Amino acid sequence: MKIKLPLLFLAATGAALAAETPAQAIAAPAACAQCQKAAAPADSPSDPSAKALATASAKDGQTFSKDSLYQLDGEFTDDSGRTFTLGELRSHPVVLSLFFASCGYACPLIVTDMLALQDRLPVELRSETRFVLVSFDVNRDTPAALAHYRAERHLDKQWTLLHGNADAVRELAALVGVKYKQEADGMFSHSNLLTVLNKQGEIVHQRIGLTGGLDETAAALVATGK
């Protein structure tokens, strides 16, 4: 007879996706003492005070600015099956969106807008810019599924399609301010956001919603080169 030391219950840290549904329909609750205290302070990602030259270390010893998304050390896999860390996008302007391949409504529109954006960029900037799609659908959007999506949508080598584990995707979504939730039918409810990152991986612009704003987004990309 042998007893295992009870060290095993240092549990896995995987993030379970809660199966809960969005509510746009309900009104905000009435004001009360507690929620006024809890009201979230505004904090712009481009807060100039934090923009200084301060650097933060990443896992692999590279240093990124204090506002750089590339500080996230989550690992992704691209659609060729290669391990990918976001820091590899450094020194490129980036247009990033979260999506899922089987989305029949908003995601195709977002990708179409990103393609339109790619078309309207000046030639030099176009070849420099990376278009990045990260999937919420960690179970179905395998690298192979993403490769299929690339072929279907004729996405060229400027495009990076990423699969990540649930933790990495949730952290990235939290950083860019994207909310998402898997519904019982397997589809995802999600925010529609296009995010522009400068060459350091800092958020410099976001297009919110599905329509318009491409000129501003293109201008933000142009500004990353200045």
Partner 1 sequence: MNAPPFRLCALAWGWFAVVACGGEFPAARPVVPPDMVQIPAGAYTPLQRAANDTPQVAVASFLLEILPVTNAEFLAFVTAVPKWRRSQVSRLFADATYLGPWTSDLEPGRNAPADAPVVNVSWFAARAYAHWHGRRLPTIAEWEFAAGAGYTSPDGRKDEQLNRDLYAWLARPVPAVLTSVAQGRPNFYGVRDLHGLVWEWVDDFNSAMVTGESRADSGLDRDLFCGAASIGAKDTTDYAAFMRQALRSSLKANNTTTSLGFRCAADLPPAPSSL
Residues 150-169 binding partner 1 (CB under 8 A) are none
Residues 58, 62, 66, 128: which binds partner 1 (CB under 8 A)?
A: 66
Shortest CA distance to 168 belongs to which of 85, 90, 89, 93? 85
Q: How far is the CB of 124 from partner 1 (least distance, A)?
A: 30
Does residue 19 touch partner 1 according to CB under 8 A?
yes
CB nearer partner 1, residue 3 or residue 123: 3
Does residue 48 touch partner 1 according to CB under 8 A?
no
CB nearer partner 1, residue 7 or residue 123: 7
Q: Which two tokens stand for residue 69?
A: 């998304």
Sign of CA dihedral 208, 92, 57, 80: positive
Does residue 187 touch partner 1 according to CB under 8 A?
yes
CB nearer partner 1, residue 165 or residue 189: 189
Does residue 45 touch partner 1 according to CB under 8 A?
yes
| Axis-axis angle for helices 106-120, 214-224 (nearest 10) | 50
Does residue 53 touch partner 1 according to CB under 8 A?
no
- Taking CB under 8 A as the binding criterion, the range among 18-26, 112-120, 124-132, 138-146 that sits at the site for partner 1 is 18-26
**143 three-class SS:** helix
Residues 97, 170, 197, 217: which binds partner 1 (CB under 8 A)?
A: 170
CB nearer partner 1, residue 18 or residue 123: 18
DSSP assignment of 68-133:
BGGG----EEETTS-EE-GGGGTTS-EEEEEE-TT-SSHHHHHHHHHHHHHHHS-HHHHHH-EEEE
Q: Which two tokens stand for residue 147?
A: 């490769």
